[in-house]
């Protein structure tokens, strides 16, 4: 097996770990894994595939499928986070409304003509 194919195998393994982290919403791990995967892929493209061109193509096809899955999962997580943020904002607005309706004893909200 050539070094290009082994580097693509490494990139696939890193991509699988990235997908797992994405599904578990471990956002802090995603950046490091994506950088490592990108580096491994760059090195794989720079290394000559040698006689294993078909094996390299197969790894490249699998990487394309994995990337498609990563994008779908990331979009789903983005939509989930957007909904959570919207819910938190609505709840904060509701809570602020409760604070505004509280009156202190002796305060009147109407103006009296008689003083």
pLDDT at 74: 94
Q: Where are the beta strands (DSSP E) in the chain?
A: none
- Percent of the residues in the chain that have a pLDDT greater than 90, as a whole number: 63
pLDDT at 109: 65
pLDDT at 93: 85
What 8-state DSSP symbol labels residue 1? -
Low-confidence ranges of the chain (pLDDT < 70): 1, 98-110, 112, 115
pLDDT at 105: 64
CA distances from 65 to 1, 12, 59 (A): 22, 10, 10
pTM for the model: 0.73
């Amino acid at each position: 097996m050539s070094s290009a194919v082994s580097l693509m195998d490494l990139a696939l393994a890193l991509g699988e770990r990235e997908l797992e982290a994405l599904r578990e919403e471990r956002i802090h791990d995603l950046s490091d894994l994506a950088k490592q995967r990108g580096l491994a892929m760059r090195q794989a493209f720079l290394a000559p595939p040698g006689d294993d061109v078909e094996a390299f193509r197969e790894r490249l096809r699998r990487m394309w499928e994995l990337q498609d899955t990563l994008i779908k999962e990331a979009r789903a997580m983005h939509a989930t986070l957007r909904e959570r943020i919207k819910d938190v904002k609505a709840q904060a607005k509701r809570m602020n409304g409760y604070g505004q309706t509280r009156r202190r004893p002796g305060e009147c909200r109407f103006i009296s003509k008689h003083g």
